[in-house]
Amino acid sequence: MSELRLTLAVVQVLRAFLDDVGQPRYGYDLMRQTGFPSGKLYPILSRLHRAGWLVRENEGVDPAAEGRPARVVYRLSPDGAAAARGELAALAEQLRPPEPVRPIRRLRPQGRSA
Amino acid sequence: MSGAAILLGVLAGVVGVVIGDLASSEIRGRLDRIPYRLIQFAARRLDETSRADATAEWTAELRAVLRQHAADTVPLARLLIGTRFALGVVRAARTIDRDLRSVVKPPAGPTGTGLATTLAEVARTASSLRSAAPPLVTDLVDAELARMSALVTQLHAGCATYSGEDQDWLLALARNTRTSLDATSITTTDHTGLRYDGSFWASDLAQRYLLTQRQIIASGVPVRRLFILDRPELAHDTALARLCRHQTQLGIQIRLLAPAEVPPDRLGQLTDFIIFDHALAYETLGPAHPTRCTDRDHAISTRLYLDPTQIADRARLFHDLWQAATPPTTRQHRPEPGA
């Protein structure tokens, strides 16, 4: 599996897959889940697939019986799932807001000198 | 108004409604095809290897999109939804193609960064494939990579051997020949033992091999083929004569060498070989004791020689045999025996 430049859009797609790792996804379902148009989603799927993060396969249906062509489904590869979790955790850590600033507790009461 | 006029008016109205309905169906049908045409246009932006898969995927997805909106949307809205999806795909195809081009760079030459980039890309893609593909596919990739590695190692040592006949070697060498191609071809007879067996030249490999030779001849590379006859009567065989005419028409220089014309000191050295650019010799070896006449068409091993001594030996052999041979036109005016 190769490295991948993680943009915010890529992270959003990975997040959609991590909701249910074993669940294969259609492109159109991912479009609706992420709100991305096809022009934005498919290049991301292509990059993730080429990098080995996603597995791409035909759904197992008989087109003649279903009356429609078989669709392509995507799912996270085992390595892709582990990497996605790791990357999202790292990103969440980076984006975690800092602790609120607490007032410095004075060691000595005001108005007194050593 | 007369009854006839009313009837005519009604008929005209009915015809008008029918024509209008037909026109409407025609227009609707054409409009429905627009998104599919856009998807085909999008797929043409991709390289040939991924075009069919992309078309199938996006077409099936478009069908799903339209199906979901079929019940609750008017046709015009469905057109807009489909077109929006398809236009996005056109944009996606451009981006995907750009991504691929930025990753896969053509090799710059036999050495240098281009080759290194290609090898790095092969390693990266193979590693990526390993995580996603079934074991059968990864085994195939491993075997092919091992084969490529063995070929390079053996060529570096001066000689590479392959069990059987490697079509890829033959075609790749012919396609990349730059200065000359000299080949010997030992003839075989058919099951009667009397007539020439030209089955190899009717095979798919031979057709592609000849097509490649025609292309390099067009670019100025001389191609010579020496048919070494295993029986003297084949010099007048009609099938062989037809084959010679065909290859001559392609621009190949042909000569025939009858058994009696083989120089005595070369009698034990007759094999099928090809010398490419006087830089590499390709030699096929058949069974030592063929059980059938056509067995010699099936090579049991193929060797590539890069060693200059080996190449020079074969170049001298080819020269001697070529000098002893004669063009087919000088001998094929005789009728075929028994014809």
Residue B289 pLDDT greater than 90, yes or no: no
Nearest beta carbon to residue B88 from set A37, A52, A77: A37
pTM of the full predicted structure?
0.48
Across-strand partners of A74? Answer: A25, A56
For residue B224, how many other CB atoms are within 10 A of its CB?
16
**Residue range B42-90, pLDDT digits in tens:** 988 888 777 888 899 999 999 888 888 775 567 777 788 888 999 999 9
Alpha helices for B69-222 (secondary structure H): 75-103, 113-132, 135-157, 167-175, 204-218
Mean pLDDT of B310-322: 93
Nearest beta carbon to residue B127 from set A2, A28, A69: A2
**Residue range A40-74, pLDDT digits in tens:** 999 999 999 888 889 888 888 888 888 888 899 99
Q: Do B95 and A41 touch (CB under 8 A)?
A: no
When scoring A5, A29, A34, A38 by the number of chain B Cβ atoms within 10 A, the one with the most, hence best to mutate, is A38
For residue B227, which amino acid is it?
Answer: F
Q: What is the overall mean pLDDT for chain A?
A: 82
When scoring B36, B131, B141 by the number of chain A Cβ atoms within 10 A, the one with the most, hence best to mutate, is B131
Nearest to B50 by CA among B5, B93, B16: B93
What's the pLDDT at B190? 66
So where are chain A's domains? 8-95
Q: Using CA atoms, how far apart are residues B315 and B307, in angstroms rounded to an integer?
A: 12
Lowest mean pLDDT among B98-112, B224-238, B262-276: B98-112
Contact A27, A41 (CB under 8 A): yes
What's the pLDDT at B75? 72
CATH 1.10.10.10 fits A8-95, yes or no: yes
Cβ–Cβ contact B103 with A under 8 A: yes
What's the pLDDT at B337? 41
Across-strand partners of A25? Answer: A74
- Tell me the C-alpha to C-alpha distance, in Å, between residue B231 and each of B28, B176, B237, B281, B305: 72, 34, 10, 26, 29
Mean pLDDT of B248-267: 91
**Residue range B138-164, pLDDT digits in tens:** 888 888 888 888 888 888 888 888 876
Nearest CA distance, B22 vs chain A (angstrom): 26
Residues of A in contact with B99 (CB under 8 A): 43, 46-47, 50
Contact B50, A50 (CB under 8 A): no
What's the pLDDT at B24? 66
Alpha helices for chain A (secondary structure H): 8-18, 27-34, 38-50, 63-66, 78-95
Mean pLDDT of B116-136: 76
Cβ–Cβ contact A27 with B under 8 A: yes
Residues of B in contact with A46 (CB under 8 A): 92, 96, 99
Residue B180 pLDDT greater than 90, yes or no: yes
Residues of B in contact with A1 (CB under 8 A): 127-128, 131
Residue B276 pLDDT greater than 90, yes or no: yes
What confidence tier does B254 reach under pLDDT thresholds 50, 70, 90?
A: very high
Q: Do A1 and B65 touch (CB under 8 A)?
A: no
Residues of B in contact with A29 (CB under 8 A): none
- Bridge pairing between strands B181-186 and B272-276: antiparallel
Across-strand partners of B305? Answer: B159, B281
Q: Using CA atoms, how far apart are residues B248 and B253, in angstroms rounded to an integer?
A: 6
Cβ–Cβ contact A89 with B under 8 A: no
φ and ψ at B131, to 5 degrees?
-80, -15
What's the pLDDT at A36? 93
What's the pLDDT at B10? 77
